[in-house]
Structure 1
Amino acid sequence: MNRKPTHPGKIINEDYLLPLAISITEMAAILGVSRKTVSKKTNERGVITPDMALRLSSALDTSPELWLNLQKSYDLWEAEHASNAWRIVKPLSPKLLHASG
C-alpha cells in the first residue's frame, strides 16, 4: 500500500461534522463521550475502538465495520512504515506448517 490511508477522524470531521455544522461538543453529546475524546479523534490523534465504532455507526447510520476497517487500514500502514524490523521475519517452510497434522 503506497498512499497513506485517511485517518478515520479526518473522515468524521470532513464528511460529517463540517457539512452538517455539528460542533465537537455537540458530537460528543450525541455519542455520549467527552469533548476531549471526539477532539482527539477528529485531530487524528485518537483511535476508533470497537465501542466508538458502535457509537459512530448508530449516530451516523453507518456500520461499525466501516469505522474499524478504516482504523485497521490506517494502523497497518503506520506500522509498515514506522519500522523495518518486521521485515526480518521469514515464512515458515511448508514442511513445518504441515507437520502438526
Structure 2
Amino acid sequence: MSHSDSSQHPGTVLRKRFLVPHGLDVDRLATDLGVPANRLDDVLAGQRSITADMALRLARYFGTSPLYWMNLQSRFDLHVTGQVLAGEIERDVQPLHKDVA
C-alpha cells in the first residue's frame, strides 16, 4: 500500500484499482456482493466507510485479504483525523516520560 493510499478514501481505491480494471459498474458489483447499490455508491463517493462486513465481501470477491480493506479505512481515518486534530492533540497531550532510576 503506497503512502498516497492513506490520503485516499477506500472508495477511491476500490474504483481505481478494482472496478475500472475489471470493467465493473456499481450495480453489477453490488449485486455480486449482495449489498444495496446505494450503500456501495456511498462507499465509492467517500460518504461511507468500509465496514467489516463490506471488507469480508470485497475480500472474497476480489481474492484479497479483509485486512487490506480494513487497513485502507484505518489509514484513511487516521490521516483525516490527524489533519484535523494534530495541533489540538499536540497541545493537550504530553508524552509519558519514564522516570530514570
**Which interval holds the TM-score relative to the shorter structure?**
0.7 to 0.9
Identity among equivalent pairs (%): 31
Structure 2: runs of 5 or more not aligned: none
SS in structure 2 of the partner of residue 33 of structure 1: coil
TM score, norm. by length of structure 2: 0.83
Report the Cα distance in structure 2 between the residues aligned to 1:12 and 1:85, rounded to whole angstroms. Answer: 32
Match in the other structure for 2:98: 94
Structure 1: runs of 5 or more not aligned: 96-101
- Alignment length (residue pairs): 95
Report the Cα distance in structure 2 between the residues aligned to 1:5 and 1:21, rounded to whole angstroms. Answer: 25
The structure-2 alpha-carbon separation of the partners of 1:35 and 1:2, relative to structure 1 and needing over 3 Å to count, comes to closer
Deviations 1:2-61 (A, max 9, x none): 995222111111111122221101111111111111101111121111111111100110
The structure-2 alpha-carbon separation of the partners of 1:25 and 1:3, relative to structure 1 and needing over 3 Å to count, comes to closer
Report if aligned partners of 2:33, 2:58 keep a CA contact under 8 Å in 1. Answer: yes
Match in the other structure for 2:60: 58
Report the Cα distance in structure 2 between the residues aligned to 1:90 and 1:2, rounded to whole angstroms. Answer: 29
